[in-house]
Structure 1
Amino acid sequence: MKWDEYAEWGRRIADWGADYHTTLRDRPVRAQTAPGEIAAQLPLSPPDAPEAMEAVMADFETIVMPGMTHWQHPRFFAYFAANAAPPSMLAEQLVNTIAAQCMLWQTSPAATEVEGVMIDWLRQALDLPVGYTGVIQDSASSATLSAVLTMRERATGYSGNREGLSGKGHLRIYCSDQVHSSIDRACWVAGIGQDNLVKLPTTGPRHAMDVNALEAAIATDRAAGHVPAGVIAITGGTGVGASDNLGPILQVARANDLYTHLDAAWAGAAMICPEFHAAFWDGVAGYDSIVFNPHKWLGAQFDCSVQFLKDAQPQLNTLKIEPEYLKTSGAAVTNYSEWTIPLGRRFRALKIWFLIRTYGLDGLRHRIRNHVAWAEELCAALDQDGFEITSEPILSLFTFRCPGSDDDQQRLVDALNDDGRIYLTQGAFDGRKVIRFQVGQFDCTHDDVMLARQVIGEVWGKLQ
């Protein structure tokens, strides 16, 4: 492809993108294709001769698009939305065009320095103390793995990377039973093992970790000769929005010299709104590691996850490796590849810069406040309609059940998603299957949310 063709197709695809987003309400939210249907339309072998871009784009429309689930659809109420606000998308186009590998300061000074400033802008927006630094990761899973590896190394005197874990004892990580599965996976990958991830019961209306159980578990493990290494708290768990009491957990961790990590991947974005601090953010100051995803509720294009660090040195001691070919001569600079597991890094900070400047924090706060209010309104309406509310709204997430068995819940979820007007997912809570509803898509409206009441009622009526 020549550059004049690139420019032409760039314009055409930009027009296609604008049309796609403005007509999304006319499409079913979830892909309606059967397994294997897309692959069956693709040639078994790659072409030897070049093909015209017209033909490629035509096949994209006819083969690929029917198999896409539309995450930017305003009636996407499943999982947590992975938003892509227009300024963020434009920033990504620039990043893709420049195509820099931003692993070191010298490989693109602007990428490193903009990242440092954006981390501090977000620190201020979330009201974290001066002194916190951080790094942009690809996802919360990577940030959590980084934190768990740091817990491991700190607990072994930073000898695990060098010597392995043989003879180091059973390293123990503590969390509630409401944590995301990425916590389990981090313990697998770090060599700590599933059996050494101690999941504690929750209490209260926000399903917070039982702090007395935490204290008792640490004492029991020490008495058994195990090695407590760290505590992972959550603000806004994936299942029902579980949110721990951060201050008391931090006190127990400090008393036992344990490294702390806070998973606020979804709900952390809401902390740009000061009114949520008392309920969800009190005690956050002092956590060693905190992660939240601007690519969820804040509108940044996936992938973009920010890990704040009270002190970066323990993570650097864990992850930094500096062969001669990666050394930077001259003045002291930050090389963010030393803070993360991957060496290669994209210029993720640019989309945060574009996003915050074009909406302002007030514009982003307005969206989040609307989503919280609309979720509460819909929850009350479904309760009036005879559905069982199994967990009250925590920010913009709640769960419910239709009358009947666990199989009936899945039947309703499948029927709703086959209907195409909205997209929901199932979950589990208190030993039963539930239906999750989360408001968070960047461009959804009050009408989109309240339409869900009509759709849920209609589809459930047809199933009876």
Structure 2
Amino acid sequence: MIMMDWLAKAMGLPDHFLSTSENGGGVIHTTACESTLFTLFVARDHLRLKSDTGSQNGHSTVSSSAINVSSMVAYGSKLAHSGVEKACLMGAVQYHPVGYDDNYSMRGHLLEKEIEADIEKGLTPFFVVATLGTIHCCSFDNLKELGEVCEKWGLWLHVDAAYAGSAFICPETRHLLAGIELVQSFNFNPHKWLQVQFDCSALWIKDRQKLDTVLHLDPIYLQHSKQDEIVDFRHWQIPLGRRFRSLKLWFVLRSFGVTGLQKWIRGTMDLAEYFADLITKSEHFELFRPRSMGLVCFRAKGSNDQNRALLKSLNEGREIHLIPAEIDDTYFLRLAICSTQTTQKDLDDVLNLMLRHLQKL
């Protein structure tokens, strides 16, 4: 609880996510996929277990007894991680991906259009995943607009910031958190970009009472004399047992300090900008979109097939390893700066290596 409060404060998250607040708190999961599945379960069953009927936030709702899981709908960007759709499959709910604007951002009006259409079909919207730092190209959904739509219709808004969330330790990036006060849960992976060993996925909940409503199972063999005095994290996760993940988070925060981690994050973004400049100046390569955080999305000037062949050649060469993505029928390569050992010379070498492999095609 102390570590999660330290981390929340370092990232500038709202006080209502702190364990010292009236209802909030944080827990460490294994991965962002687990946190998405967990919050989907909570949102789904909390809605179904509601005893009240009538109206919610000015809009008509159905009684809990009439809600069938198969009619419930969750939403995420078409660029959301596959873990969102997987959570919906495991939760037996429908998943309706939402489009994006020219900046690859899911916007409020696009979400609301889907919600209204589904309600007309007799479906029950209940859960939205906003991505801050999409896996394809590190784009950012419009959190404020999505939050306002979710508040209007009474939907749970979960944030998946698995990769890019680490950057919020730097104040200059926090404009991307505009609307965070409207979020029900927020998750990112310190094990991706914040120097913490795998696995360590940080999840904060705005209202922990909803966990007690949905997941509080209390058989006699799990009861103990202090259960009314402490936060019992078996209600905050899928398994009962827990690893002591907060210890490695403590070591990183105490070793680097907030200023040290800020310096590290800024340094990796500077290196990514350096590589983006190399791509821009090259006559053989081009950026797919401007550098975002520590990620550079680029491609060889040519066809998708040529870029596929280049990636195959590079990865088979085993000197570097790149992962591709494809958006709107454009195939591109991705380079993320995550290592403490990366230098500008390494990035010069990467460009020269790619040129050599390109010439062989």
Per the TM superposition, whether the score is higher than 0.5 is yes
Matched, 1:176 2:72: no
1:286-343 C-alpha deviation (Å, 9 max, x unpaired):
3101100011100111111010111112233233322111112136112212110011
Report the equivalent of 1:250.
147
Of 270, 277, 285, the residue aligned with 2:174 is 277
Query: Partners in 2 of 1:287 and 1:249 — Cα distance?
Result: 9
- Report the equivalent of 1:435: 333
TM-superposed CA distance for 1:394, in Å, is 1.3
TM-score, L = length of structure 1 = 0.70
How many angstroms apart in 2 are the aligned matches of 1:165 and 1:298? Answer: 45
- Runs of 4+ residues over 3 Å off in structure 1: 163-169
> How many Å apart are 1:347 and its aligned residue?
0.3
1-structure distance, mates of 2:45, 2:30: 22
* Residue in structure 1 matched with residue 225 of structure 2 by the alignment: 329
CA distance in 1, matches of 2:142, 2:189: 20
Query: Which residue identity is paired with 1:174?
Result: Y
Matching of residue 118 in structure 1 with residue 3 in structure 2: yes
Q: Which amino acid aligns with 1:236?
A: G
Deviates more, 1:351-360 or 1:331-340: 331-340
What is the SS of the residue equivalent to 1:128? coil
**Is 1:419–2:317 an aligned residue pair?**
yes
1:294–1:300 contact (8 Å) kept in structure 2: yes
Measured in 1, the distance between the counterparts of 2:200 and 2:65 equals 31
Aligned partner (choices 16, 21, 27) of residue 131 of structure 1:
16
Q: Secondary structure at the match of 1:359?
A: helix
- In structure 2, the partner of 1:197 is 95
Cα distance between partner residues in 1 of 2:171 and 2:164: 13
Match of 1:300 in 2: 196
1:388 to 2:273 alignment = no
Q: Which runs of 5+ in 1 are unaligned?
A: 1-115
Per-residue Cα deviation, 1:337-362 (whole angstroms, up to 9, x for no partner) = 21100112100000000111011111
Q: Is the 8 A contact 1:297 1:442 kept in 2?
A: no
Counterpart of 2:256 (choices 350, 353, 359) is 359
Provide the C-alpha distance between the structure 2 equivalents of 1:166 and 1:259, rounded to a whole number of angstroms: 16
Distance 1:170 1:442 in 2: 47
SS at 2:180 equivalent: coil
Q: Counterpart of 2:238?
A: 341
Tell me whether 1:266 sits opposite 2:163 in the alignment. yes
- Residue number in structure 1 paired with 2:60: none
Cα separation, 2, equivalents of 1:156 and 1:382: 51
Match of 2:196, SS state, is coil
CA distance in 2, matches of 1:164, 1:381: 60
Residue 169 to residue 358, structure 1, CA distance change in 2 (3 Å):
closer
Please give the per-residue CA displacement for 1:64-119, whole angstroms capped at 9, x wherever unaligned.
xxxxxxxxxxxxxxxxxxxxxxxxxxxxxxxxxxxxxxxxxxxxxxxxxxxx0000
Alpha-carbon shift at residue 164 of structure 1 (Å): 11
1:151 counterpart residue number: 43
Percent of aligned positions that are identical? 32
Q: Which residue of 1 aligns with 2:300?
A: 402
**Candidates 202, 215, 239, aligned match of 2:112:** 215
Q: What is the CA–CA distance in structure 1 between the aligned matches of 2:359 and 2:65, rounded to whole Å?
A: 59
* Matched letter for residue 440 of structure 1: C
Q: Aligned-residue CA RMSD in angstroms?
A: 1.9
Instruction: Give the C-alpha shift of residue 148 in structure 1.
Output: 0.9
- Letter in structure 2 aligned against 1:152: R
User: Which is greater in Rg?
Assistant: 1
Kindly indicate whether structure 1 or structure 2 has the higher relative contact order, using CA contacts under 8 Å at least 6 residues apart: 1
Separation in structure 2 between the aligned mates of residue 452 and residue 142 of structure 1, nearest angstrom:
34
How big is the shift at 1:275?
0.5
Match of 2:343 in 1: 445
| Residues in 2 aligned to 1:298 and 1:169: alpha-carbon distance in whole angstroms | 38
- The aligned counterpart of 1:457 is 355
Distance 2:107 2:221 in 1: 49
Distance in 2 separating the partners of 1:212 and 1:166: 25
- Distance change (3 Å), C-alpha of 1:398 and 1:290: same
SS in 2 for 1:302: coil
CA 164–413 in structure 1, closer or farther in 2 if over 3 Å, else same: farther
What amino acid is the match of 1:254?
E
Q: TM-score, normalised by structure 2?
A: 0.89
Q: Distance in 1 between matches of 2:212 and 2:163?
A: 26
Q: What residue number does 1:350 align with?
A: 247
Paired with 1:333 and 1:124, the residues of 2 have a C-alpha distance of 22
Is this contact kept in 1: 2:10–2:169, CA < 8 A? yes
Distance 2:140 2:120 in 1: 29
Counterpart for residue 90 of structure 1: none
Q: Distance in 1 between matches of 2:141 and 2:192?
A: 20
SS of match in other structure, 1:376? helix
Q: Distance in 1 between matches of 2:130 and 2:111?
A: 11
Aligned residues: 340
Counterpart amino acid of 2:45?
E
